[in-house]
Amino acid sequence: MSPRNPRKYVVAEPDIRSWLDELISSGWEVVAPVVERGPCRFERIESASEASLDSSAGIRTRWSAKEFLLPRQETLVEYSACDGSVQFEEAPLDTQPRVLFGLTPCDAAGLERLAAVFRSGPSDPYFQARRDATAVVTITCREAAPECFCTAVGGSPGDEEGSDVQITVIEAEERGASAEERGARPRHTYLVRSLTEKGHRLIENSRASWTPSTDEIEDRVREQLQQVEMTVDRQAIATGSSELLERSFDDSVWNEVADPCLGCRICTTVCPSCSCFDVYDKGSAACGQRCRCWDGCTQKLFTAHATGHNPRNTQVSRLRQRVLHKFSYFPNEHDGLSMCVGCGRCAALCPAGLDVHQTVMRVIERMQSRQPQEGAANGHGA
Amino acid sequence: MNRIMEPAHGSQPTADGLDWQPHIIALACNWCTYAGADMAGTLRLAYPPNVHILRLPCTGQMNAMYVLKAFEQGADGVIVSGCHPGDCHYARGNMLARRRAAALRRLMHMLGLDERRLHFAWVSASEGAKWAKLVADVVEEVREAGPIGEWAASETSKRPNGRTSKGPVVLPDAGPPPRGKPSRESTRAVTDHLQTLARELLETGAASQVIGYQQSNSRSADRAIPALVTRPDDAASLTWDETCRSNLTTYLTRSASVRLGEATPVASNGAVDLSIEGKSVASRPAPGAVAVVVKPCDAKSIIALQQEGQLNRQSVIAIGVPCDGVWEGDRMAAKCYACPGGVASLADWTVTEKGAVENAEGKVDGDDRFPLPTAPDPRIAQVEVLWESDAEQRWAFWQEQFRLCLRCDACRATCPLCYCESCITEKHRPQWISPAADSVGNTAWNFIRAFHLVGRCIGCDACADACPADIRLDLINFALAREIEDRFSYRAGEDADAAPPLATFKPDDPQEFIR
């Protein structure tokens, strides 16, 4: 999905909203950040007016948009038993065309990681059907939050991975203006770039009234994004770290870093790339469904056997699993690609205050201090 | 689908609504009501056939989960019925059930389930006629309440707008807080004394661990995070200010040396004795006590844990810090409005701006800042608005919140009183609570979580503070705590020797709702 002839336009905010309304009326299901009646989150919208387009810091939803590819709960098979035989009926695949609008670039990258998991081994038709029918529109970040670390794992505030269309707010010249002044100013203009065939189709009907962009504007936007990138202030996790981390499996450092973990799964539920699910049945002997729902490796039931044995019987081993899956096992199988995209949601919300970037850095540092020679070879710094 | 009744005579109304028949599940005690229902049959009394009886040994076995499950699977009404007071074959099962039922009704009511759907009655083995009349009356009341509807109707992809025929419930905003944030000088002075004390406790071995707060500059959330300190040098990371919102006592029951039942016996030489049948297999140094920084509200959970036999008080060193209230940004936490602040009186060490003093019971000479001005808890007015709205509105209000629940269990993890080794939500043979974050699972989880805390919740609001979906868990807990106080004159976390209200009874407990 490399950019092919990206199409670029300068679009005013009202036109962005008309575009969304256009998509809705032409049969797309549009999912966008919503702030009404709850925390900022992704919801299916009926009208563009419901979407939260931007704030001075950019849009930060509490949790990712993964539920529109991997729903919190979905039925796989329905069964019914009558006259001594059992009938199975597979649930229809969800092929509803859907636009995920307003994702951050790290969110879009997270969905790519999710896709990599569901692509490996036997393909998952439920996920794949949604994925094929989904187009992703990202909005680049205007500011880094303290917990953001996309640049430490190979991303950036203007990353195009996983985006079909990417939108950037064209900042007014005076960046020093206060939030209030910015709020009072007339609405933003945006640089809209469609990056893929899917993206081109998405803007096909609306772009006629948009103004083509200029090199000057694109240069300005590029410069803007570089400035935002510099504010992501976290040390890079070197691509070679995954093997070092794998060797940390039995190291006592894990007891230290995992000590505060309370064993909830706030981190896995808000994560854009955590893919684990549980399969369960509901119903009776006569009829029912086999379903799947989100699960999380940080909770003890995740690996509990029917015998009562639990191979990950301590909270330390469970937290270690999540961290090593993101930063070691997955990268080892995907050319060093980090499964974590650095959105920082888990760190922002963890009630125990655990910050996955700091956790990884601590483990890496400890391992390097234990193996000074290899440590030098695997030194961090991008 | 997925109902205990066949759809043909389930609770699906036809277009004209005429053919619908209410479905009633009766949880009947084996000794009285079940025999009473049998008597009705023997006497050839006619009563509506809408009731399915589930026989329990005793109403004392009436579990909120059974009631919830009945509604979840399509029952339109539930009857719980057993022996008259004084007649229980297990001496007190029905008396305990009476208290539990009172709490359950109020929780149901708060969450918007029509109270006409849940009924309690004393029916003895000889009261066949009373049983017949009870069923007839309940069927009529449930008929008025109408079909329970599709509990799982709201798809996760659709967003309800909270609107009902009477409009959404709008909660009044919290008024201005009764006081401002503590001064930087004050919190800095307390922080200094706290660090000194923590270092000393660790250096002398009086404590093996100090659980306190530390600042985090790597998150946008304006909240101090837990610090589990074991090395004296790390005591310098500890801090105290108004962002220390969480309740650290949730870590206590995770500590082997603190939790009762898991405490390892200590040998005479101070080493932990890991002997098996008198044969020592290993030994290690005795773990010292665990010191924990507590606000006055957090301290109540130490009392509640003691009360429930979960905590070895001797192994806990409570470090009381002077609290002016905790804040999230420019909002004071609701629980702080009515609290006069100060240091927890159970504190083993009292830390103030003036210093750290042992066994001072929360008071240090020369520190007379407290009590601070208070204002009514803003949730009193909010809960009143909810009680005054109708069931349909409350249902819409809570469903709108519950649907965002991610089932991350952060509410449970942060709750000091959710200490069960195996939680009801983890029990899957049978699966009591659906593991899915859908409307069935989320309603069941939030319902049962609240019910398991009735009469136990000490109001630290750690659950609501941790919730990523901003569900007003504090409001449910608060509403139920008020009901318990009104009814049983009991407040959780105040007396370690008191019996928890749902684990005891009085012969003359009010029973206005029981037929």
- Give me the sign of the Cα torsion angle A300, A302, A303, A307: positive
Q: CA nearest B404 in A: which residue? A: A38
**How far is Cα B369 from Cα B186, in angstroms, rounded to an integer?**
11
Q: What's the confidence (pLDDT) of residue A56? A: 59
Q: Residue B191 is which amino acid?
A: T
A260 touches chain B (CB under 8 A): yes
Residue B307, classed as helix, strand or coil, is helix
Q: What's the confidence (pLDDT) of residue B272? A: 41
- B296 neighbors B318 (Cβ within 8 angstroms): no
Can you tell me the mean pLDDT for A319-338? 94
pLDDT band for B73, please (50, 70, 90 cuts): confident
The tens digit of pLDDT for each residue in B466-508 reads: 999 999 999 999 999 999 999 999 999 999 999 999 999 999 9
**Nearest CA-CA distance, residue B158 and chain A, Å:** 7
Beta bridge partners of B70: none
Place of tokens 């009886």: B53
Q: CA nearest A62 in B: which residue? A: B468
pLDDT band for B159, please (50, 70, 90 cuts): very low
* B426 interaction partners in chain A (CB closer than 8 Å): 300-301
**Nearest CA-CA distance, residue A146 and chain B, Å:** 5
**How far is Cα B183 from Cα A368, in angstroms, rounded to an integer?**
43
CB pairs under 8 A between A and B: 149
Contact B246 A351 (CB under 8 A): yes
**How far is Cα A58 from Cα B387, in angstroms, rounded to an integer?**
39
**How far is Cα B455 from Cα B304, in angstroms, rounded to an integer?**
10
Contact A146 B218 (CB under 8 A): yes
Assign 3-state DSSP to chain B and report helix, strand, coil percentages, each to 5: 35, 15, 50
Residue B462, classed as helix, strand or coil, is helix
Residue B410, classed as helix, strand or coil, is helix
Q: What's the confidence (pLDDT) of residue B155? A: 37
Q: Is pLDDT above 60 for A381?
A: no
**How far is Cα A153 from Cα A159, in angstroms, rounded to an integer?**
12
DSSP classification of residue B173? P
A287 touches chain B (CB under 8 A): yes
pLDDT band for B270, please (50, 70, 90 cuts): very low
Contact A293 B225 (CB under 8 A): no
What whole-number percentage of chain B has pLDDT above 70? 88
Contact A294 B414 (CB under 8 A): no
The tens digit of pLDDT for each residue in A123-145 reads: 899 999 999 999 999 999 998 99
Q: CA nearest A278 in B: which residue? A: B435
**How far out from the chain centre does Cα B175 lie?**
26
Q: What's the confidence (pLDDT) of residue A2? A: 45
A35 touches chain B (CB under 8 A): no
* B400 interaction partners in chain A (CB closer than 8 Å): 37-38
Residue B374, classed as helix, strand or coil, is coil
Q: What's the confidence (pLDDT) of residue B265? A: 45
Beta bridge partners of B418: none
**Nearest CA-CA distance, residue A214 and chain B, Å:** 36
A355 touches chain B (CB under 8 A): yes
Name the residue among B4, B220, B228 with its Cβ closest to that of A259: B228
What's phi and psi for A283, nearest 5 deg? Answer: 130, -165
pLDDT band for B9, please (50, 70, 90 cuts): very low
Crossing angle of helices B439-452 and B391-402, in 10° steps, is 100
Q: What's the confidence (pLDDT) of residue A188? A: 81
Lowest mean pLDDT across A188-197, A322-331, B10-19: B10-19
Q: What's the confidence (pLDDT) of residue B163? A: 46
Interface probe, candidates A41, A68, A73, A314, chain B, greatest B C-beta count within 10 A: A73
**Nearest CA-CA distance, residue B363 and chain A, Å:** 30
Residue B451, classed as helix, strand or coil, is helix
* B413 interaction partners in chain A (CB closer than 8 Å): 262-264, 351
Question: Secondary structure of chain A in the HEC alphabet?
Answer: CCCCCCEEEEEEHHHHHHHHHHHHHCCCEEEEEECCCCCCEEEEECCHHHCCCCCCCCCCCCCCCHHHCCCCEEEEEEEEEECCEEEEEECCCCCCCEEEEEECHHHHHHHHHHHHHHHCCCCCHHHHHHHHHEEEEEECCCCCCCCCCHHHHCCCCCCCCCCCEEEEEECCCCCCCCHHHHHHCCCCEEEEEECCHHHHHHHCCCHHHCEECCHHHHHHHHHHHHHHHHCCCCCCCCCCHHHHHHHHHHCCHHHHHHCCCCCCCHHHHHCCCCCCEEEEEEECCCEEEEEEEECCCCCHHHHCCCCCCCCCCCHHHHHHHHHHHHHHHHHHHCCCCCCCCCCCHHHHHCCCCCCHHHHHHHHHHHHHHHCHHHHHHCCCCC
A1 touches chain B (CB under 8 A): no
Neighbouring CB atoms inside 10 A of A16's CB total 25
For residues A299 and B160, which has the higher predicted lDDT (pLDDT)?
A299
Beta bridge partners of A85: A82
Place of tokens 């957090």: B298
pLDDT band for A22, please (50, 70, 90 cuts): very high
Adjacency order of strands within the sheet including A287-294: A85-90, A73-82, A287-294, A277-283
* A41 interaction partners in chain B (CB closer than 8 Å): 404, 469
* B404 interaction partners in chain A (CB closer than 8 Å): 38-39, 41
* A282 interaction partners in chain B (CB closer than 8 Å): 2, 431, 434
The CA-atom distances, in angstroms, between A4 and each of A7, A139, A193, A327, B398 are 9, 19, 11, 31, 48
Can you tell me the mean pLDDT for A175-187? 53
For residues B277 and A8, which has the higher predicted lDDT (pLDDT)?
A8
**How far is Cα B221 from Cα B305, in angstroms, rounded to an integer?**
29
What whole-number percentage of chain B has pLDDT above 90? 74
Neighbouring CB atoms inside 10 A of B404's CB total 22
DSSP classification of residue B8? G
Q: Is pLDDT above 80 for B151?
A: no
Q: Is pLDDT above 80 for A269?
A: yes
Length of chain A, in residues: 382
Beta bridge partners of B55: B28
Q: What's the confidence (pLDDT) of residue B150? A: 62
Among A residues 221-250, those touching chain B with beta carbons less than 8 Å apart: none
Name the residue among B159, B226, B428 with its Cβ closest to that of A353: B226
Can you tell me the mean pLDDT for A149-154? 95
Name the residue among B159, B250, B468 with its Cβ closest to that of A43: B159
Among A residues 150-179, those touching chain B with beta carbons less than 8 Å apart: none
According to DSSP, the β-strands at B207-214 and A277-283 are unpaired
Give the ipTM. 0.90
Name the residue among B225, B400, B410 with its Cβ closest to that of A37: B400
- A357 neighbors A365 (Cβ within 8 angstroms): no
pLDDT band for A285, please (50, 70, 90 cuts): confident
Beta strands in B159-302 (DSSP E): 207-214, 225-229, 271-273, 283-285, 289-294
In 3D space, the residue among B338, B467, B423, B37 whose CA is nearest the CA of residue A38 turns out to be B467
Specify which of A361-375, B268-282, B500-514 reaches the highest per-range mean pLDDT: B500-514
- Give me the sign of the Cα torsion angle B7, B66, B418, B461: positive
pLDDT band for B49, please (50, 70, 90 cuts): very high
Specify which of A56-70, B140-154, B414-428 reaches the highest per-range mean pLDDT: B414-428
Q: To the nearest whole number, what is the mean pLDDT of chain B?
A: 87
Crossing angle of helices B93-110 and B439-452, in 10° steps, is 130
**Nearest CA-CA distance, residue B377 and chain A, Å:** 22
For residues B11 and B204, which has the higher predicted lDDT (pLDDT)?
B204
**How far is Cα B287 from Cα B481, in angstroms, rounded to an integer?**
37
Adjacency order of strands within the sheet including B24-29: B51-56, B24-29, B77-82, B118-122
For residues A1 and B249, which has the higher predicted lDDT (pLDDT)?
B249
Among A residues 55-94, those touching chain B with beta carbons less than 8 Å apart: 62-63, 67, 71-73, 78
Q: What's the confidence (pLDDT) of residue B165? A: 64
- A69 neighbors A275 (Cβ within 8 angstroms): no
Name the residue among A41, A269, A282 with its Cβ closest to that of B434: A282
The tens digit of pLDDT for each residue in B284-333 reads: 334 579 999 999 999 999 999 999 999 888 899 999 999 999 999 999 99
The tens digit of pLDDT for each residue in A189-239 reads: 899 999 999 999 999 888 888 999 999 999 999 999 999 999 998 999 988
What's phi and psi for A42, nearest 5 deg? Answer: -85, 130
**Nearest CA-CA distance, residue A243 and chain B, Å:** 26
Q: CA nearest A60 in B: which residue? A: B220
Q: What's the confidence (pLDDT) of residue B325? A: 96
Name the residue among B214, B220, B438 with its Cβ closest to that of A146: B220
The tens digit of pLDDT for each residue in B192-250 reads: 999 999 999 999 999 999 999 999 877 777 889 999 999 999 999 999 999 999 999 99
In 3D space, the residue among A22, A346, A13, A327 whose CA is nearest the CA of residue A204 turns out to be A22
In 3D space, the residue among B80, B65, B74 whose CA is nearest the CA of residue B26 turns out to be B80
What's phi and psi for A183, nearest 5 deg? Answer: -65, -35
Q: Is pLDDT above 80 for A382?
A: no
Structure tokens that stand for A217 in this block: 């504007």
Contact B1 A283 (CB under 8 A): yes
The tens digit of pLDDT for each residue in B381-400 reads: 999 999 999 888 999 999 99
pLDDT band for B156, please (50, 70, 90 cuts): very low
- B209 neighbors B251 (Cβ within 8 angstroms): no
- Give me the sign of the Cα torsion angle B325, B328, B329, B333: negative
Q: What's the confidence (pLDDT) of residue A286? A: 86
- A282 neighbors B2 (Cβ within 8 angstroms): yes
Q: Is pLDDT above 90 for B135?
A: yes
Can you tell me the mean pLDDT for B4-22? 56
Name the residue among B1, B226, B438 with its Cβ closest to that of A352: B226
